[in-house]
Amino acid sequence: MTAMIERFLRQKFESPLVVGTLAVLALVVATPPALSAGPARLVALLLIASGAVSRDASSGALQIILARPISRTEYLGGRLLGIMAAYAIFLAAATIFGLLLSWKLGGMATLLSPALARAFVGALLDGLQVAVLLLFFSTLLASYGDALGYLLLWIAFSTASAFGTGLGNAGMAQAARKAQENLLPDVRWDTVLAGGDFPIEALGRWVLAVTLCFVLAAAVLSRREFSYGQD
């Protein structure tokens, strides 16, 4: 598994373009309040995670890997851990940039607090949910279709809810909201990790969504055939 994680990190961080883009995004995310820029974090995660399986499959790398003593689920687990390791490095860089910015602005003391650790872990857990959904799409769709799939799903949920409300169709709006709550549950990690509130229902949905996406991805990958011709 460590070999799989190392390979993923090398694939991502040996590309100057990816490293440069992630550094810029880390600076955006580092802007106080640190680690709070959701869209920039999402873009970084899309950059890290998209094509995790599909690009391996289209390049032929996956076929050579699957000829080795590693199960398809192990491979998938290795990709997910690789994504999370790369994302953790990105968040760590953003945290360091944030600390440097705060030091310049004179607010180091307030930034070096449990709140920062909570923001870090919360961002990582938010990232896991998106990563596992991207991984599922990556087992189904070619190339960077996983990123597109994720964005289309998000747009579909948002617009369906708005459409339903606009059309006065309460059922449609409610169904879209329910689907979004279940597949992309919004857990207030900062509150949970601070021990202030324990939203069991939201946490349950989060665990279920993450598990379900990974199980579905494993099921799709285990059934998939890999061919590159009919010779």
Partner 1 sequence: MTTVISVEAVTKTYGRFGRKTRALENVSLEVRRGETLGLIGPNGAGKTTLLSCLLGFLRPDSGSLRIEGRAVDDLWVRAQTGYMPERLGFDRDLSGASFLAFHWRLSGGDPARTGVEVHAAADRVGLDRLALGRKLRTYSRGMLQRIGMAQATLRNPALLFLDEPASGTDPLGVAIVREQILAAKARGATIVLNSHQLSEVERVCDRVVFIDHGRLTRTETLTGEAASRRRSVVRVPPDRLEQARAALAAAGISAEPGPEATLRLAEASETGVARAVKALALADVPVLEVRSSAELEELFREAPPS
Question: Which residue from 7, 88, 156, 203 is in contact with partner 1, where contact means CB under 8 A?
Answer: 7
Count of residues binding partner 1 (CB under 8 A)?
A: 29
Asked if residue 142 binds partner 1 (CB under 8 A), the reply is no
Q: Which residues 35-54 are close enough to bind partner 1 by CB under 8 A?
A: none
Residue placing its CB nearer to partner 1 in the complex, 9 or 88: 9
3-state secondary structure the chain: CHHHHHHHHHHHHCCHHHHHHHHHHHHHHHCCCCCCCHHHHHHHHHHHHCCCCHHHHHHCHHHHHHCCCCCHHHHHHHHHHHHHHHHHHHHHHHHHHHHHHHHHHCCHHHHCCHHHHHHHHHHHHHHHHHHHHHHHHHHHCCCCHHHHHHHHHHHHHHHHHHHHHHCCCHHHHHHHHHHHHHHCCCCCHHHHHHCCCCCHHHHHHHHHHHHHHHHHHHHHHHHCCCCCCCC
Least distance (Å) between residue 221 CB and partner 1? 12
Residue placing its CB nearer to partner 1 in the complex, 196 or 230: 230
Asked if residue 230 binds partner 1 (CB under 8 A), the reply is yes
Asked if residue 219 binds partner 1 (CB under 8 A), the reply is no
CA dihedral 82, 88, 93, 97 (to 10 degrees): 160
For the chain, the distance separating the N- and C-terminal CA atoms, rounded to the nearest angstrom, is: 33
Least distance (Å) between residue 43 CB and partner 1? 20
Mark residues 54-73: x for contact with partner 1 by CB under 8 A, - for none. ----xxxx-xxxxxxxxx--
Least distance (Å) between residue 122 CB and partner 1? 31
Residue placing its CB nearer to partner 1 in the complex, 106 or 229: 229
Asked if residue 19 binds partner 1 (CB under 8 A), the reply is no
Residue placing its CB nearer to partner 1 in the complex, 4 or 94: 4
Asked if residue 227 binds partner 1 (CB under 8 A), the reply is yes
- What residue ranges bind partner 1 (CB under 8 A)? 2-4, 6-7, 10-11, 14-15, 58-61, 63-71, 225-231
